[in-house]
Structure 1
């Protein structure tokens, strides 16, 4: 969905000291030019109230929350409500999820029409873990950091009722102390705060989330929610197949993310030196009934996962022996092969990531991966299995 572009420049009101009596803000989370979520919240000395609407798969989800704060800035109670975009409750969902925090415990209560489910945990100075795209409450972590308290691993309870942790750690490798990395949430988002501990930037570029948002002014979130439509499946699965003689098959199962006006190789989507899942969602799997020789490495018949590392000195295909995992789960201990790839320009922009297994000779082929302005490829020889 492409919403009207919202000016997200940081106003001068946020660059100077702002009284804590009221600090409203909005964040429009985008994948390229596509809006995937909008968050809006207001923070005072005693309360944080906010709401968020998210497009995800076949549904729209809207959250409304309230945090009451003690004098030390820590939450004492919280309420989170999840509804559909029109305000109706999803089937079998609680009408409200409430949290009560004391010095040494945290309690979660899920309120249904006919019952209330309660869970209590012994945890000192605990916080609440909020759903993805609710990042306004991280301003409380920034305030704790400024006061000198530990902020890297704080007990936190989430909507599902499981005790985990939350925290922030420095992320400004260039000495930029305002940049931190979120810990304990679904994604290790990069956050930037100003001198008043107000959140200015949320950046998922170096996570699988990839959404980016910066601080803006108040929006009519209710009206926007009514106009939003579900994203559907963002990255469809596809299978690339090549045939090499009788019974000779090479299959690659992968997800197909879109560029969405972002930079690809060495940019936002495939940053330099990171291990990329070669697609989206589940790990990309290679199935071969032939022994594949890539460079000086032999890949026996079987199932593998594929990863790519793109560096300033070259691009490498990684063949890994672990299978069946999510795409971000990678262990170099299971690597079977690491093969140099060739990068060339594509004739035109490739919006959806595309893999082709192409036969060049009866026993030879090439794996081609095209995305954005470039294609990376690796040749191989397919050898029949000897009886």
Structure 2
């Protein structure tokens, strides 16, 4: 027969053991149902991934004159005229309207533009595209485009390429203060001079 001290010791050990098991169980359950313990779900690559074009193009050059952030839709056996119809305001890419940032005042297609960030819309045409800089930012597509918020509209030349470009692309090329912005998609190459 156990004496009182032995019984107390045994009951205490049973209590501690039950509480330890309960503590381990609670910890395991909380880890299983915790957002931290479950695998984070990341979305797949967007069908029209976002990209950026800068001038100068070197990513190591922190003295940039311009940067364009835009999404890159692909033709996928569709006609350019269906994706960027002539005579209609286009978001200049996919998803949100393209945004262009000038880090200094520039002459954009012959017109003065102050340093800052603008939405960049385009109106495709056969021989020329109209490039529109607009003060409305963070807009989805051209659905919320308002002409009264335009800063400038300039005409850009279009030429045809022998090769077709599957994904819409923007690049800059030039030297020092004089450079050109190129928009390319399908067999259309649009060019606009910039001085900065």
**Structure 1 gaps, min length 5:** 1-229, 383-387
Q: Distance in 2 between matches of 1:241 and 1:361?
A: 13
Instruction: Describe the shift of the 1:273–1:232 C-alpha distance in structure 2 as closer, same or farther (beyond 3 A).
Output: same
Q: Distance in 2 between matches of 1:313 and 1:369?
A: 14
**Structure 2 gaps, min length 5:** 1-42
Which runs of structure 2 are paired with 1:197-346 in the superposition (5 Å)?
Answer: 232-243=45-56, 247-264=63-80, 267-312=81-126, 314-328=128-142, 329-346=144-161
**Based on CA coordinates, which of the two structures has the bigger radius of gyration?**
2
Query: 1:377 matched to which residue of 2?
Result: 191
Which runs of structure 2 are paired with 1:40-55 in the superposition (5 Å)?
Answer: none
Which runs of structure 2 are paired with 1:18-97 in the superposition (5 Å)?
Answer: none
Instruction: Describe the shift of the 1:262–1:296 C-alpha distance in structure 2 as closer, same or farther (beyond 3 A).
Output: same
Decide which structure has greater helix share.
Answer: 2
Paired residues in the alignment total: 150
Q: Distance in 2 between matches of 1:324 and 1:286?
A: 12
Normalised TM-score (structure 1): 0.37
Instruction: Describe the shift of the 1:241–1:313 C-alpha distance in structure 2 as closer, same or farther (beyond 3 A).
Output: closer
- Equivalent pair of 2:74/2:167 in contact (CA under 8 Å): yes
Higher relative contact order (CA 8 A, sep 6+): 2
Q: Distance in 2 between matches of 1:236 and 1:262?
A: 18
Normalised TM-score (structure 2): 0.71
Cα RMSD of the aligned pairs, angstroms, is 2.1
Q: Distance in 2 between matches of 1:272 and 1:320?
A: 19
Q: Deviations over 1:4-42 (max 9, x none)?
A: xxxxxxxxxxxxxxxxxxxxxxxxxxxxxxxxxxxxxxx
Instruction: Describe the shift of the 1:330–1:261 C-alpha distance in structure 2 as closer, same or farther (beyond 3 A).
Output: same
Instruction: Describe the shift of the 1:231–1:349 C-alpha distance in structure 2 as closer, same or farther (beyond 3 A).
Output: farther
Q: Deviations over 1:51-102 (max 9, x none)?
A: xxxxxxxxxxxxxxxxxxxxxxxxxxxxxxxxxxxxxxxxxxxxxxxxxxxx
Query: 2:5 matched to which residue of 1?
Result: none
Q: Distance in 1 between matches of 2:158 and 2:126?
A: 12
Q: Distance in 1 between matches of 2:44 and 2:156?
A: 33
- Equivalent pair of 2:54/2:64 in contact (CA under 8 Å): no
